[in-house]
Amino acid sequence: MNKITSAFIRVLRQSSSSGGTGTLLGRQLSYKSDLSLDTIYPGARLQIYTPPPPSSGSDKFSGFIPMDRLEITYSRSSGPGGQHVNTVNTKVDVRFKVEQADWIPEQTRQKLLKVLANRITKDGYFYIKSDLTRSQQMNLADALEKLRTIIRSQEAVAAAPPSEETLEKLRRRQERAVRERLQLKRGRAQVKADRQGPSGLDL
Q: pLDDT confidence of 128, banded at 50, 70, 90? A: very high
pLDDT at 83: 64
Residue 130: beta bridge partners? 92
Residues ≥6 apart with Cβ < 8 Å to 22: 11, 12, 14, 15, 28, 29
Domain boundaries, the chain: 67-155
| 20 has a pLDDT exceeding 90 | no
Neighbour order of strands in the sheet with 91-97: 71-75, 91-97, 125-130
- CATH tag, 67-155: 3.30.160.20
- pLDDT digits 0-9 by tens, 136-173: 888 999 999 999 999 998 887 766 788 889 999 999 99
